[in-house]
Amino acid sequence: MASDLSDPLAQALADEDAARGVDQNNTSGAAGGGSGQGQPEDSGSPVMRWWRLAREDAKRNPRKTPWDVLMAIMDIESGGQPDAESKMNFDQNKQPIGQAQGLMQIMPFHFGFQLGDDGKLSAAQKAIAQDPETNMSKADDILFDLHDKYKNWEDAVRHYFGIGEDAYHMSDEGYWKKFQDAWAKYLPTPDMP
């Protein structure tokens, strides 16, 4: 049976904020506002430069995928590159179904986009799909829907990846292991600034 990370994650976030006196209802720290108290510093890593967006998305979205879960998936999916684009994906009939886009590597069908005959997005569609806030918000929705369905983060993360093996020969088991390693980097700790 999969372990449910939701309670420890929620508790860790609440403890982190409480220890720093951060108001759970104050979102003024989003991209440019506020002091950033109680938040990790941008370490210069491509992923960590998006922590404010992940944290604010988690606070803004009433469904709330924990921000460190979003960060761990971003670490795996794009390495923090907002213009990341996967190889072309194909359906069972070998028809192109598009390329995953952006920080969280979201497939075009999640946005409801019609693709060209070659499976590619228009420039305008790509701009929307790769917009960091839009991309992360869509990932948050997908992950929380999966969490609602499977009732635990392990199965939600595995299904976010897709059960089985991808074009790069990564399995859902391998993805879960990569997630656990990445997630450990973003867990809130008492010594975070």
Residue of 152 and 33 predicted with greater confidence: 152
Could you report the per-residue pLDDT of 141-169, keeping only the tens digit for each? 999 999 999 999 889 998 998 876 666 66
Position 18 in a domain: no
Q: What is the band of 22 on the pLDDT scale with cuts at 50, 70, 90? A: very low
Q: Where are the alpha helices (DSSP H) in the chain?
A: 6-20, 51-60, 67-77, 123-130, 132-150, 153-161, 172-186
Give the count of domains, the chain. 1
Position 75 in a domain: yes
Position 139 in a domain: yes
Could you report the per-residue pLDDT of 36-68, keeping only the tens digit for each? 334 445 556 788 888 888 878 777 766 678 888
Could you report the per-residue pLDDT of 73-115, keeping only the tens digit for each? 999 999 999 999 999 988 889 999 999 999 999 999 999 999 9
Q: What is the band of 119 on the pLDDT scale with cuts at 50, 70, 90? A: very high
Position 2 in a domain: no
Position 25 in a domain: no
Domain hosting 75: range is 41-186
Query: What contacts 24+ positions apart, CB below 8 Å, involve 90-98?
Result: 90/119, 95/119, 96/120
CATH number at residue 122: 1.10.530.10
Q: What is this structure's pTM?
A: 0.73
Report the alpha-carbon distance of residue 100 to residue 120 in Å, rounded.
10
